[in-house]
Amino acid sequence: ITTNGAGAQTPAGELRFPVGKVLDASAFPRLVNLTNNGAITVQNSAVFGTPAQPYGNFVSHGSVTALGCSIRATNVEISGLIDSGPGPINLTASTAVLRDGVFNAPFNNIILGAGSLVISNQTLRAGHNLTILATNTLTDGVTDGLSSSGNIWTAGVLGFNLPFEPPVATLLGTTITAI
């Protein structure tokens, strides 16, 4: 664990998990809310919350770098980097706001599931499939069809999947490319 010195202007620090150590519920058994303004680096998979015990809030304005990343929380707010290296990125939340960031899973899937999912100025890079599961709302914030949300999404060899259209949905300012 690194942190800023006394009198630092920001509370940004870093958590580094060594090779062979998994970041999961056993690492922080009583953790309910997580705010990351620095960097979390895991030389294995990173699991934030479980189906039985999701976090209340997962907020990251910094970076999370791991060999696969799973986030389960009631509320999610991310405006930084989630880089899963060779592993997948799985996000499950009641409400998720993804802004001004990057999700990078160059050799695997990105699966985003939420009741309400707001995505703006977000880069999503999936090497396999990019799946969006939004049950109530899916929006990039663009309503006129002329503006750009800044969203650039790339789905890999297995393509882009939106298994069902949420009742409130608009991605008018989003560019989705399947390669």
0.75 exceeded by the pTM? yes
Write the pLDDT tens digit of every residue in 33-86: 999 999 999 999 999 999 999 999 999 999 999 999 999 999 999 999 999 999
pLDDT of res. 9: 60
pLDDT of res. 45: 94
Write the pLDDT tens digit of every residue in 82-99: 999 999 999 999 999 999
Compute and round to an integer the Cα radius of gyration of the chain: 16
Tokens of 69: 């990343």
With cut-offs at 50, 70 and 90, classify the pLDDT of residue 20.
confident
Q: What is the mean pLDDT of the segment spanning 123-140?
A: 97
**Per-residue pLDDT at 123 exceeds 90:** yes
**Per-residue pLDDT at 2 exceeds 70:** no
pLDDT of res. 143: 79
- Which residue, among 61, 97, 90, 62, has the nearest Cα to 76 in the 3D structure? 97
pLDDT of res. 148: 79
Residue 2 neighbours by CB under 8 Å, 6+ apart: 13, 14, 16, 38
Write the pLDDT tens digit of every residue in 133-179: 999 999 998 877 777 788 999 999 999 999 999 999 999 899 999 99
CA distance 158 to 153: 14
CA distance 58 to 166: 23
- Which residue, among 98, 159, 82, 167, has the nearest Cα to 126 in the 3D structure? 159
